[in-house]
Amino acid sequence: MASLKEELGNRIPDLRKELRELLEGGGSTVISQVTMSQVVHGMRGVPGLVCDTSLVEPEKGLIIRGTPISKLAARKPEEVFYLLCTGRLPVARELETLHDELRQRSAVPAYIWDLLFAMPSDSHPMTMLSAAILALERESVFRKRYEQGMHKDEYWEAALEDSLALLAKLPAMAAGIYRIHTGKRTLIPPNPELDWAADYAQMLGLPDPMGEFQNLMRLYLTLHCDHEGGNVSAFTCHTVGSVLSSPMLAVSAGMNGLAGPLHGLANQECLRFVLEIKNRFGGVPSTEQLTDFVWARLKDGSVIPGYGHAVLRVTDPRFTGFHDFGDRVCAQDEVFRIVDRLYAVTPAILQSHGHAKDPWPNVDAISGSLLYHFGLEQFDYYTVLFGVSRALGMCAQLILNRALGTPIMRPRSMTTDQLKALSGSKRRVA
CA angle 9, 78, 15 (to 5 degrees): 25
**Is 17 a residue that touches ligand CMX (CB under 6 A)?**
no
Cα 126 to Cα 254: distance, rounded to the nearest angstrom: 11
CA angle 273, 279, 280 (to 5 degrees): 90
Residues 237-276, mask of contacts with ligand CMX (x by CB under 6 A)? -------------------------xxx-x----------
Stretch that binds ligand CMX, among 55-63, 86-94, 98-106, 297-305 (CB under 6 A): 297-305
* Residues in binding contact with ligand CMX, number by CB under 6 A: 20
Q: Contact with ligand CMX (CB under 6 A): which of 65, 99, 169, 309?
A: 309
The answer to whether residues 337 and 381 touch, using CB atoms and an 8 Å cutoff, is no
Residue type, 15: L
Stretch that binds ligand CMX, among 300-308, 323-331, 337-345, 422-430 (CB under 6 A): 300-308
Q: Kindly tell me which of 112 and 251 has the beta carbon lying closer to ligand CMX.
A: 251
Nearest to residue 65, comparing CAs of 397, 321, 405? Answer: 397
Stretch that binds ligand CMX, among 105-113, 298-306, 322-330, 332-340 (CB under 6 A): 298-306
The answer to whether residues 387 and 126 touch, using CB atoms and an 8 Å cutoff, is yes
Q: Contact with ligand CMX (CB under 6 A): which of 132, 166, 201, 356?
A: 356
Which sequence positions are flagged as catalytic? 263, 309, 364
Q: Kindly tell me which of 98 and 223 has the beta carbon lying closer to ligand CMX.
A: 223
Q: Kindly tell me which of 190 and 387 has the beta carbon lying closer to ligand CMX.
A: 387
If one counts every other C-beta atom within 10 angstroms of the C-beta of residue 355, the result is 9
Give the length of the chain: 430
CA distances from 334 to 274, 363, 375, 389 (A): 10, 19, 14, 27
If one counts every other C-beta atom within 10 angstroms of the C-beta of residue 84, the result is 24
Residue nearest to ligand CMX (CB): 308
Q: Kindly tell me which of 190 and 308 has the beta carbon lying closer to ligand CMX.
A: 308
The answer to whether residues 226 and 62 touch, using CB atoms and an 8 Å cutoff, is yes
Stretch that binds ligand CMX, among 20-28, 95-103, 184-192, 299-307 (CB under 6 A): 299-307
CA dihedral 155, 158, 160, 165 (to 10 degrees): -160
**Is 307 a residue that touches ligand CMX (CB under 6 A)?**
yes
Q: Contact with ligand CMX (CB under 6 A): which of 253, 358, 398, 401?
A: 358
Q: Contact with ligand CMX (CB under 6 A): which of 36, 89, 187, 310?
A: 310
Q: Kindly tell me which of 65 and 309 has the beta carbon lying closer to ligand CMX.
A: 309
Cα 80 to Cα 234: distance, rounded to the nearest angstrom: 17
The CB-of-257 to ligand CMX minimum distance in angstroms stands at 10
Stretch that binds ligand CMX, among 147-155, 174-182, 285-293, 355-363 (CB under 6 A): 355-363
Q: Kindly tell me which of 4 and 69 has the beta carbon lying closer to ligand CMX.
A: 69
The answer to whether residues 407 and 242 touch, using CB atoms and an 8 Å cutoff, is yes
Nearest to residue 52, comparing CAs of 40, 64, 38, 68? Answer: 64
Site residues (vs ligand CMX, CB under 6 A)? 231, 262-264, 266, 298, 303-310, 355-358, 362, 364
